[in-house]
Amino acid sequence: MSHQSFRTPPPPTDFTRLTFPIKHTLLVTLSRPKSLNCINSHGHQELHAIWSWLDNEPSLSVGIVTGEGRAFCAGADLKEWNETHKPGARPRAPMPPSGFAGLSRRRGRKPIIAAVNGLAHGGGCEMIINCDIVLASHNAIFALPEAKRGVVALAGALPRITRIIGRMRAMEMALTGRNVPAHEAREWGLCNAVCGEGHNVVDMAIKWAEEICENSPDSVIVSKEGIELGWEGIGVEEGTQRLVDGMFKELEAGGNIKEGIRAFVEKRKPKWTASKL
């Protein structure tokens, strides 16, 4: 997909590569392999801009995030942290409201798939905890090792991971800081699927993205919002009513719902238009 297809151009990048492997899908590759894709303060701002662009670009429906080299993301750039805490040092750029890598506290409109190709430690693990779908390579490793460094996982992971894997397992990860290999993470519900040895996790993520892109972009956005309402702790009835009274009314007034039902009746594939929600 060429940039001319976009309503607005992608934001400039220094720490990531943006590619478009299939129609309607943005692939973001963290590209600091020598630093195990650790993210510095400017990297957080860059990623926040990328995910904001995804949400607002009509031609895109799904995002994928992965890492270059042997790591997905080994967390924060602790060398930068150390330098900026020396006397007289310039302060770091502030963390965006969407959190670590623009993901850990993101409440976005469009789904993001994490294709975890290796180490997902600290902030890297906090990123995937708030992604919508998590796919892991067979050698992926998840960990919250902050306690080993005298710090705490404050980018949103602790309350969220408790809801995903339960209190006892969350305590185990946060208090011991131990590595959780991919297959154990799958058993815990920390990832959706593990890619077999010899297979590429990004290829798997692209196939999942393709399945999502076959659906109505309006329905994907509103379905994600409905799940987010439950994720944030709103009661079932309140969350349902908010969805019915809010985004669903916009979906119902749009063309994709009519096209989807008409295509079903006519026994053909629907021809979706970019979401206007």
From the candidates 123, 156, 226, 239, give the one annotated as an active-site residue: 123
Look up 118 and say whether it is catalytic.
Answer: no
Which of 46, 68, 146, 225 is labelled catalytic? 146
- Identify the H or E element spanning 9: none
pLDDT in tens, 99-137: 999 999 999 999 999 999 999 999 999 999 999 999 999
Residue type, 273: T
> How far is the C-alpha of 85 from the C-alpha of 91, rounded, in Å?
8
Lowest mean pLDDT among 72-86, 194-208, 211-225: 72-86
Amino acid at 269: K
Spell out a b/e string for 121-151, using b for 16 or more CB atoms within 10 Å of the CB, else e.
bbbbbbbbbbbbbbbbbebbbbbbbbeeeee
User: Is 60 exceeded by the pLDDT of residue 89?
Assistant: no
Helices (H), the chain: 41-56, 78-84, 123-129, 157-165, 167-176, 182-188, 201-213, 217-231, 236-245, 247-253, 255-265
Q: What is the mean pLDDT of residues 152-174?
A: 93
Q: Which of 46, 57, 80, 126 is catalytic?
A: 126
What's the whole-number mean pLDDT along residues 76-88? 68
Q: Which distant-in-sequence residues (6+ apart) come within 8 Å of 168 by Cβ?
A: none
Q: Which CATH number fits domain 3-213: 2.40.110.10, 3.30.565.10, 3.60.20.10, 3.90.226.10?
A: 3.90.226.10
State yes or no: is 237 an active-site residue.
Answer: no
Catalytic residue flag (residue 76): yes
Annotated catalytic residue, options 71, 76, 115, 182: 76
Determine whether 146 is an active site residue: yes
Which structure tokens are listed for 102? 């623009």
Task: Specify the 3-state DSSP secondary structure of 169.
Answer: helix
- The pLDDT, as a whole number, for residue 241 is 84
Measured on CA atoms in the order 95, 99, 103, 104, is the torsion positive or negative?
positive
- Asked whether residue 246 carries a pLDDT value surpassing 90, the answer given is no
* Of 86 and 184, the one with more pLDDT: 184
